[in-house]
Amino acid sequence: MTQAAGTTSQLTDKLGVEIDPELLSLALTHRSYAYENGHLPHNERLEFLGDSVLGQAVTVLLFTRHPELDEGALAKRRASVVSTVALAEVARGIGLGDHLRLGRGEDQTGGRDKDSILADTMEAVIGATYLSAGQDAAADLVRRLVEPLLADPDRYGAAVDPKTSLQELAARLGMTPPVYTVHATGPDHDRLFTATVTVGESSATGTGTSKKHSEMAAALQLWHTLSERR
């Protein structure tokens, strides 16, 4: 896939907010692309900002929507909603991977679908929204992005803790517990892990920058497949 396939106008249509084109381009620029093109600016500062905006917006959303939850339960749900797996699922839902600016090596090793890259870029886009349109617009974007996870408890649970959700689903279906195998490729400083999870005769694969993330990605994929059988 070519760099930043598709147009950013298609992305902003899905986001439902106007973002300064230069800031959006920066938000989509991974450090691998920046280093390969003369050490251009990349999205990590915007990611830092977006992480803070995301956390505050989710905190307010959960606090106002769930008066029945105590501090501990609210904190647990917030951590889940802003987790790498949950943000990566949100990013896939808007096709964010198609618009990433990645270095050749990262692109060739599946970077457009890596949970960590998708989640970090999602935070950078939120940061760019904050700078372009203000706090209220950024908070509204966060609400619209995470509401599908909160509105569907099963999907929400699977996104934030896919391994446990898959194990519980397999038990409900009377199937054997999940079995994972993982292998790694690439140099030590840039490893890509690929996990395969099997339940009965069904299996799925997932990739990530750590063994844990690859297993979570595989578990989420298989959970979606098996949940259709219920």
61-107, pLDDT tens digit by residue?
999 999 998 998 888 788 878 888 789 889 999 999 999 999 998 88
Residue 13 labeled ligand binder:
no
The token pair at 121 is 């870029």
139-193, pLDDT tens digit by residue?
999 999 998 877 765 666 677 788 988 999 999 999 999 999 999 988 887 788 9
Listed residue (7, 39, 19, 33) closest to 127, CA to CA? 19
- Widest distance between CA atoms in the chain: 55
Give the span between the Cα atoms of 141 and 152, in whole angstroms. Answer: 18
In order of their start, the domains of the chain are 1-155 (1.10.1520.10), 159-228 (3.30.160.20)
Annotated catalytic sites, by residue?
A: 51, 123
Residue 154 labeled ligand binder:
no
Listed residue (185, 188, 187, 172) closest to 214, CA to CA? 185
Residue 215 labeled ligand binder:
no
